[in-house]
Amino acid sequence: MGSIRRSKTKRMTRGLDQIHADLRSSKRLAQLRALVPNEDKPGLGQFHCVECAKYFESEWNMTQHTRGKNHKRRVRMLLEEPYSQKEADAAAGLGTTSFYEALEARKEAERVAKESVKPMEDVE
């Protein structure tokens, strides 16, 4: 049993909620993208996939990774917003009114943002 558990967790990467937090934090993104050589990481830490939280030894390995199925699947999964504590409470029936009000406000904000981005039509 010990060897099975070890093999399942050996290549475990950061969770989607942790990566969402990294993508939201400009300080963390700047830290990840900084080209400060780090001898402990592959490729001195210069080739890093933020979405998958992996380091690569060369640029070629990084480009091959970004073309791959696993990377594309991970990016697609990151498009969805992670569950919050409010959503969990609403599913249990606690604080549903505040949750639905916040959900409607977010949908309205997204709708307004989409309308403001619409391309202008040619005027003759």
Distance CA 18, CA 82 (A): 10
Write the pLDDT tens digit of every residue in 67-118.
999 999 999 998 888 877 777 877 777 777 777 788 888 888 888 887 876 6
- Identity of residue 31: Q
Q: What share of the chain has pLDDT > 90, as a percent? A: 11
Cβ-contact 29, 21 below 8 angstroms: no
